[in-house]
Structure 1
Amino acid sequence: MDQETNRHWMNVIVAFFLASLPILIIQILHPYIYFESEIPPYLVFHNIAESFSIIVSMSIFGVGWFTYAQSKDKHTLFLGTACLGIALMDMMHMLGYTGMPDLFTPNSPNKSTQFWIIVRFFAAISFLTSAFIPNENGSFKQRSWLLLGSISVSAFAFVSVTYYPDLLPVTFSTEIGLTNFKKVSEFVIIFVLILALIAYWFRIPRFGWDHTKYYLYAFVFGISSELVFAVYTTVFDIYNVLGHIYKIISFFLIYRGVFISSINSPYRNVLETNEKLSKSLSEKENLIKEVYHRSNNTLQVIGSLIFLQAEAYPDSPEIKTIVNRIQDRIQAISLVHRLLFSGQDLSSVPIKQYISELSNYALQTNGNSSCKLNLNLEIEDRKLLFDAVIPIGLILSELLNNSIKYAFPEASSGNISITFYEGQDQRFHLTYSDDGVGIEENYNFKNSSSLGIQLVQGIAESQLSGKVHFKTGPKFQCEIDFPINLYKKRV
């Protein structure tokens, strides 16, 4: 056996020793500590002990029955329905005890003991059977049959012991105390519990020590309980008291096993799964941020390469203009990735911050020192998906460049205004305007040869599914409106 198995054996042996110790003490100090209680105080103890067992059994039934829809734990369901029958028959045993008000027929030691034997046989056989029912998710197609079976056994015990006790073997008589049938029955029950303990031991490799240990300990104390119930002299002596204490411990341990299997373990699994998902999500967020960061760096490298290539033609103003325009467009896209990388939202960009930074960049890099331009922004403070922000950035980059280069040829100052808001028509509205020279009245935008105008129209209509309206004459103005639900969040 490996070290872990030896440790498990030692735990079970220690449990046997602890359960046996009170019995040994009573045997050694029998003349000094043995007692037979008066009926009233013993009934108080007995009712408390049996009530505790009944409550625990009903709790096990509640856990097993009402968590089955979610857990699909066949083992706990079987134990739960068995414990319902145990609780009902334990209640009959308690109410049929000598000194209690008569339960339909006169109470007697034999009556309560007959109930006891039936319920202990039922419990032992149920525990042994449960050892062969797996914890894995499964499905009892007719779980109501389990419930019906448990209630049927309880009904049989009630009817037979209450109304036909003479058909059952006598378990206790005032002349001889415990009958041979009662003693033999207790040892048979002990044998069945030993088989249950062995069967549960073989569940350890499959279901783990933590899921099994409480059942093993419960059977140890259950065996000890049956042992003292096989040797008591009267139903009020010290052995009877000790037997009920063992029974309380045994049922509490079974409840712990069921609780861990059906409540603690699933919640622990949920927490572990959530922790793994959280870790995985964090890793994916970092990965996506790294992608944005590298995309931004890549765009900057591309821009630098284009700029370096253009330096080979220092005397060509056309190439310089083209390179500057490409740089502006790269910056419009790069800024989106930079904001995504620096923010917590991996899908959306604050549009107000984006337009402000993009506009200031355009004025700084392309501004005319002879003309002071004032920027007026009225941007709704909200976030937009980057799928929409990039086209907006490319459009504004073209419009800003055109205003800076052509709108104020002789002016010493000028104004550029950008507004963005969500209208009541469930569409976004982007308006760009300047107070420059504007565009001639009969200008044909549809057939325009200007690359900037073509880009603005093409991007607005194809990527934003929007509508574009230009104002001709002095003071240029471009209005674009597009659907608010054009793109869906993906990250």
Structure 2
Amino acid sequence: MGNDSLDLRANKIRLGIVLLIALVPFPIIQIFHSSLYFESEVSPYLLFHNIAESFSIFVSMSIFGVGWFSYAQSKDRHTLFIGTVFLGIALMDMMHMLAYAGMPDFVTSNSPNKSTQFWIIVRFYAAASFCVSAFLPNENNTGRLRWIFLVFPILVSLISFVAITFYPNLVPITFSATEGLTPFKRNSEFLVIALLISATIAYWFRVKKYGWNSNKYFLYAFVFSILSEAVFAVYTTVFDIYNILGHIYKIISFYLIYKGVFISSINKPYKQLLDTNDRLKDEILEHGRVRHDLAQSLSEKEALIREIYHRSNNTLQVIGSLIFLQAETYPENPSVRLMAERTQDRIQAISLVHRLLFAERDLSSISVRKYVSELANYVLQTNKEASRNVNLVVDVEDRKILMDIAIPIGLVLSEFLSNTMKYAFRDSSSGNIFISFIEDPKGRYILNYSDDGVGMPEDYDFKNSSSLGIQLVRGVSEVQLAGKISFRTGPKFHCVIDFPRDIYKKRV
């Protein structure tokens, strides 16, 4: 509330300063009347009058051009209305200038009365239009008003031209060669002044809704227009300094309105665009900072996860070594050593996943071909004597799989490979192992493992087997992978594990 009061007081002061500036010439002329007051000759005054009116017409057409052609972008109804109003002002001011005494006849004979009639009509039209414009909103949602606003001033100008040029008796006399300005002309000027005062008051209240910056030039213009009309209401001769001052005030008021229209329709949108660009720049900088922070955070998390994988691998290696060392304390018990070796193989299957993840850019998945090949080579190297003449065939698609799938597959393959090395080829000097991993058209993974060794007894019951290895394979396949497992008994061991691809989701 306090800021609003300060703004209102500041606006009143600004308007008061403009009024004082506009009033300054009058006391100066009165004080230095003998030195400054003059009455011009007809020819010099006619030249000045034509220049002043031509400038006013040019400014009026400029206001029309800005208001009309910027409407497609600005959609500002108020500016559009002001622009079309000044089209009518330009047309009727031109009629006033061409009908002035001393100019070539404008269709019919020129006279002071004829030009003054055009003057009164255009001033009344302008003042009334300013009053109406104060109540027009800036926003607009329809294009029809654009053409209504354009047709109306053209129609008023046409009616004025026809009435004054061809039917002068229909329009009251404004100037008499014997009396000078008629009472009708003076009273009309006072009515125009009243309308301009009303427009000033209306625009003062308009400031509350649309702001001072977009309305101040209209208020300043009305101050000069009121003083201009006051001069034209009381002057005694059309050639004196007061008449010239009135035209100067008219030029100033038109220029101020042009500036107000230009700011509303051109400067304001561009300023909004620049403000938007500044906000976008700030947002881009902020997004850049956030992106840098996120990248740094992700980099730190990536380093942390890699460190976890590295330490997990080391921990698993330590656990395997401890188990193996513990088994060494029972050299006379081969079953303990066998159990330690099998546990070591299982640990290596898990440790290899962490080692590969540590080396990969993708922290959640590894190459299944690389994993299966390295795991198989590890088991064969561990069993050098038994695997000397073993031929390993790996047919694995080069694809990425999640660690949640890789570890169960590694445990299964480690179990199969270890059993094959120890039991499948005991009666022969050579053998073949075949491993395949593919994705079928239904989106399921299929793991095949087979060897051409002695196989399993025909009556072997895999479901009720007490073997830890078989139980581990079935538990991993059916529980962790949610898959289906099938074994073949008899010679040449063969196992197929079929499980869904999307059982686990990427987490890192």
TM-score by length of 2: 0.66
Alpha-carbon shift at residue 32 of structure 1 (Å): 3.1
The 2-side partners of 1:455 and 1:63 are apart by: 77
1:333 aligned partner: 362
Matched, 1:444 2:395: yes
2:264 aligned partner: 261
The 2-side partners of 1:170 and 1:206 are apart by: 42
2:148 aligned partner: 145
Unaligned runs of 5+ in 1: 335-389, 407-439, 463-491
The 1-side partners of 2:392 and 2:107 are apart by: 108
Matched, 1:77 2:80: yes
Alpha-carbon shift at residue 144 of structure 1 (Å): 1.0
2:477 aligned partner: none
Amino acid at match of 1:327: F
Alpha-carbon shift at residue 299 of structure 1 (Å): 2.2
Matching of residues 346-357 of structure 1 within 5 Å: none
Matched, 1:321 2:352: yes
> What percentage of aligned pairs have identical amino acids?
50
Note the alpha carbon deviations across 1:104-161, whole angstroms, 9 max, x for none: 1111111111100000000000001000001234435342111111100000111111
Q: Which of the residues 27, 31, 45 maps onto 2:30?
A: 27
Other structure's SS at 1:103 match: coil
Matching of residues 152-167 of structure 1 within 5 Å: 152-167=155-170
Cα pair distance change 1:255/1:193, threshold 3 Å: same
Amino acid at match of 1:176: E
Matching of residues 234-245 of structure 1 within 5 Å: 234-245=237-248
The 2-side partners of 1:20 and 1:75 are apart by: 29
Q: Which of the residues 112, 115, 136 maps onto 1:112?
A: 115
Matching of residues 373-412 of structure 1 within 5 Å: none
Alpha-carbon shift at residue 320 of structure 1 (Å): 4.4
Amino acid at match of 1:20: L
Alpha-carbon shift at residue 255 of structure 1 (Å): 0.6
Amino acid at match of 1:323: H
Amino acid at match of 1:13: G
Alpha-carbon shift at residue 271 of structure 1 (Å): 1.0
Amino acid at match of 2:247: H
TM-score by length of 1: 0.68
Cα pair distance change 1:305/1:161, threshold 3 Å: same
Matched, 1:233 2:264: no
2:385 aligned partner: none
The 1-side partners of 2:32 and 2:13 are apart by: 28
The 2-side partners of 1:285 and 1:455 are apart by: 47
Note the alpha carbon deviations across 1:397-446, whole angstroms, 9 max, x for none: 9769979x98xxxxxxxxxxxxxxxxxxxxxxxxxxxxxxxxx9986346
Q: Please tell me whether the aligned partners of residues 15 and 217 of structure 1 are also in contact (alpha carbons under 8 angstroms).
A: yes
2:314 aligned partner: 311
Matching of residues 176-187 of structure 1 within 5 Å: 176-187=179-190
Amino acid at match of 1:285: G
Alpha-carbon shift at residue 209 of structure 1 (Å): 0.9
2:457 aligned partner: none
Note the alpha carbon deviations across 1:175-230, whole angstroms, 9 max, x for none: 12111111111111011000000000001111111111100000000001001111
The 1-side partners of 2:240 and 2:167 are apart by: 28
Amino acid at match of 1:18: I
Matched, 1:3 2:6: yes
The 2-side partners of 1:324 and 1:3 are apart by: 72
Note the alpha carbon deviations across 1:64-115, whole angstroms, 9 max, x for none: 1111111110100111111100000001011111111110111111111110
Other structure's SS at 1:101 match: coil
1:469 aligned partner: none
2:483 aligned partner: none
2:175 aligned partner: 172
Matched, 1:246 2:249: yes
1:341 aligned partner: none
2:288 aligned partner: 285
Other structure's SS at 1:235 match: coil
Alpha-carbon shift at residue 168 of structure 1 (Å): 1.0
Cα pair distance change 1:83/1:441, threshold 3 Å: farther
Unaligned runs of 5+ in 2: 322-343, 378-390, 400-405, 414-434, 444-508
Which piece of structure 1 moves more, 299-308 or 153-162?
A: 299-308
Other structure's SS at 1:302 match: helix
Q: Please tell me whether the aligned partners of residues 109 and 235 of structure 1 are also in contact (alpha carbons under 8 angstroms).
A: no
Q: Please tell me whether the aligned partners of residues 394 and 436 of structure 2 are also in contact (alpha carbons under 8 angstroms).
A: no
Q: How many residues align?
A: 370
1:299 aligned partner: 302
CA RMSD, 1 decimal: 3.4
1:369 aligned partner: none
Q: Please tell me whether the aligned partners of residues 15 and 220 of structure 2 are also in contact (alpha carbons under 8 angstroms).
A: yes
Note the alpha carbon deviations across 1:223-257, whole angstroms, 9 max, x for none: 01001111222222211111110000000000111
Q: Please tell me whether the aligned partners of residues 72 and 139 of structure 1 are also in contact (alpha carbons under 8 angstroms).
A: no
Matching of residues 89-128 of structure 1 within 5 Å: 89-128=92-131
1:387 aligned partner: none
Which piece of structure 1 moves more, 132-141 or 107-116?
A: 132-141
The 2-side partners of 1:456 and 1:40 are apart by: 107
Matched, 1:192 2:195: yes
Which piece of structure 1 moves more, 284-293 or 221-230?
A: 284-293
Amino acid at match of 1:324: R
Amino acid at match of 2:300: N
The 1-side partners of 2:123 and 2:21 are apart by: 22
The 2-side partners of 1:136 and 1:445 are apart by: 68
The 2-side partners of 1:183 and 1:24 are apart by: 23
Other structure's SS at 1:15 match: helix
Rg bigger for which structure?
A: 2
Matching of residues 472-491 of structure 1 within 5 Å: none
The 2-side partners of 1:456 and 1:167 are apart by: 105
